[in-house]
Amino acid sequence: MTDVSKNAYQPETVSSPGSTLADLLEEQNIRQNELAVRMDVTPKFVNELVGGKVSISPGVALSLERTLGVPADFWLARDAQYQAFKARSEAYSDLEAQSDWLQELPLKEMIRFDWIRKCATPAAQVAECLQYFGVASASAWREHYVKRVQASTAWRISEQVTHAAGAIAAWLRQGELEASQVRCRPFDRELLIQALDEVRTLTLESKPEIFIPALKKLLAHCGVAVVLIPAPKGCPASGAVRWIAPQKSLVQLSLRYKTNDHLWFTFFHECAHLLLHGKKMLFLEGANMSGSEEDEANLYASQRLIPQVEFDAFKRCTPTRENIINFAKRIGIAPGIVLGRMQKEDLIAWSKFYDLKIRYRWKEADDSD
């Protein structure tokens, strides 16, 4: 959908309806005092009307129509245009005063990712960013976005999230905007549980252009919008999950994933929050996460990808390349995911068999590094 407001012409100056009224009075050879008598108002009111000091109400517009023969709609339209221009002009100084706020945002990435336009003046850039976030002021942005980010479960007590709040907020907002365009069925917990079995088989597909559309379709059928949004500089998040409507949830993944074990573990971790935890929380994932919800989500993701009983039996085998590949094939999952779990549990060196992992190249993520 085209954003008309971004393309609409904004004149630099707009004269008041009073200037038009003054021209008409001169053309018709009517003095202000005479007009006051004809309209049954005071001369002072007419003087203020001509001077653009008062707005034109529907009643005044009708009086002007009767006395001067110019339709009331014309006067109302002229006044509306002038009042909007005045409001915009008065707001300009306020926008300039908020320009320091731009330093809290990853402005270059937001422009490069085409989330916002690059504007010629700081005031215009502030207005553009406020529109992007859907707030009226920088203080409203802090109230709506920053406090919510700071209260997220994973980083509740971390200073890192405070320092990165602007970048995280921009990333989260883009997720909301893109998710709003994803058509989903009402959320169904049982359907999601079933769908995750099919999602698990997608780990065997190495090409994102194949498995990502399939993943999005499967989850939309369950009431979950899946979006992949590049993380701007300063945003340490690798994933997030939240409810954007009573029957619609959002799983948002960044493009920080360089290997398939990281991508799929994060995805199943986010889905765990949907299945195990409440609808009111925002869960942000990144480094140094903590909390019981995170531990529960980690356990769920690990065991959903690789059943614990199977993994316990496999750990008794010698950790060779061949054994890893055969085990992964037997349980129907990518070898890189098996290797990633072994590394996480210190069963094998991080440098060993690294070629078993599938590496992704996300263009947006590479460009932002």
> Which domains, from first to last, does the chain contain?
17-95 (1.10.260.40), 101-163 (no CATH), 184-368 (no CATH)
Distant-in-sequence, close-in-space partners of 135: CB < 8 Å, separation ≥ 6: 141, 144, 145
State phi, psi for 22 to the nearest 5 degrees: -60, -40
* End-to-end Cα separation, the chain, in angstroms: 31
Residue 318 near residue 283 (C-beta atoms within 8 A): no
pLDDT at position 107, please? Answer: 95
pLDDT at position 87, please? Answer: 84
The helix (run of H) or strand (run of E) holding residue 305 is helix 292-305
**Helix locations, 98-188, DSSP H:** 107-112, 122-133, 138-141, 147-150, 159-163, 165-179
Q: Chain-wide mean pLDDT for the chain? A: 87
Q: Which of 296, 349, 292 is nearest to 319 (CA)?
A: 349
State phi, psi for 270 to the nearest 5 degrees: -65, -40
Burial (Cβ within 10 Å: 0-12, 13-18, ≥19) of residue 94: exposed
Task: Give the pLDDT band (50/70/90) at residue 277.
Answer: confident
pLDDT at position 122, please? Answer: 93
Task: Give the pLDDT band (50/70/90) at residue 363.
Answer: low
Q: What is this structure's pTM?
A: 0.75
CA triplet 84, 134, 163: central angle to 5 degrees? 130
Which CA distances in Å does 1 have to 127, 177, 225? 20, 12, 19
